[in-house]
A and B are shown apart, each in its own frame.
Chain A
Amino acid sequence: MPSTPTDRPRPLSPNIQIYRPQLTSVLSIANRMTGVALAAYAVALVAWLVSAAAGPAAYTTVQSLIGSWLGRLLLLGCTFCFFLHLCGGIRHLAWDAGYGFSLRAIYASGWTAVAMSMTLTALTWVVGIVLAGHGQ
């Protein structure tokens, strides 16, 4: 008798509860999670544009929300999510073109994406804070 699916269950994908995280798997799910977060930030971008179109009163209200400590924390999160998703996306485009598939290259590009995201987030905020200081 040939074995039926009930005799021999099909293999399952890795069970994340007992699966040791690696850079590859963490960055893979991070690309999805930052994508979902950026979808929410995209809605915030539309709200910001609508407030600017509505006039100075609405714009000032939205700007004060962004300027609050929670607003700034969320904006910092947005900056990091954006750069991590951007770097992750560029890795994916390289893989789609057939490059960077060796284990060595995958880890090198992965750590580069992490380091670049942190560096670009820090750079963006330092420049922003310096320019905001000059404007006031």
Chain B
Amino acid sequence: MTRTQMRSALGKAVGLGSARDGVENWLLERVSAVALIPLTLWFTVSTVMHAGDDYATVMAWLRRPVTTTLMALLLMALFHHTALGLQVIIEDYVHSRMKVLLLVGMRLGCLAMAVTGLVATLKIAFGA
């Protein structure tokens, strides 16, 4: 789906709506939100089910292929959604030169967190 399809021909002709990436940001925030509903509920229920369990039991759960898959999906959707949400908040409240620095730092931080989480998840799954 492209951002142009989300806007009417009349809206584009008279210059209404976002001039840049607003539509795409809006749409992706909602797509990631829909993905996060089952993923976060799965994670919450799973961690509650493992409350009080020892390291070996938790690792056995984390090593299951379905856990690895869902955890990877959770991390990607979570940090994508976080980056989009924090972007709008920074754009709304920060108007100084700090804005660009914060936006770039936040985006890189979210990417770094997602990759770190993925590497940890894969190390648990395939590590010795």
Contacts and interface: CB of A to CB of B under 8 A. Distances in A.
Q: Do A and B bind each other?
A: yes
Interface of A: 32, 35-36, 38-39, 42-43, 45-46, 49-50, 52-53, 56, 59-60, 79, 82, 86, 89-90, 92-93, 96, 124, 127-129, 131-136
B104 interface: no
Contact of A53 (B33, B34, B78, B127): B127
Interface in B34-89: 34, 36-37, 40-41, 44, 48-49, 51-53, 55, 58-59, 62, 71, 75, 78-79, 82, 85-86, 89
Contact of A90 (B37, B62, B116, B120): B37
Nearest to A79: B44
Contacts of A128: 48, 51
B121 A49 contact: yes
Contacts, number: 82
Interface of B: 30, 33-34, 36-37, 40-41, 44, 48-49, 51-53, 55, 58-59, 62, 71, 75, 78-79, 82, 85-86, 89, 113, 116-117, 119-121, 123-124, 127
A66 to B, nearest CB: 10
A42 B113 contact: yes
Given A49-B120, A86-B37, A86-B40, A39 B52 contact: no
A35 B85 contact: yes
A33 B78 CA distance: 16
Binding site of B, secondary structure by majority: helix, strand, loop or mixed? helix
Given A36-B86, A129-B51, A46 B37 contact: no
B123 A132 contact: no
Binding site of A, secondary structure by majority: helix, strand, loop or mixed? helix
A93 B81 CA distance: 14
Nearest to A57: B55
B49 A59 contact: no
A45 B117 contact: yes
Greatest chain A CB density within 10 A among B37, B40, B117 is at B117
A89 B78 CA distance: 14
Nearest to B86: A39
A49 B82 contact: no
B113 A43 contact: yes
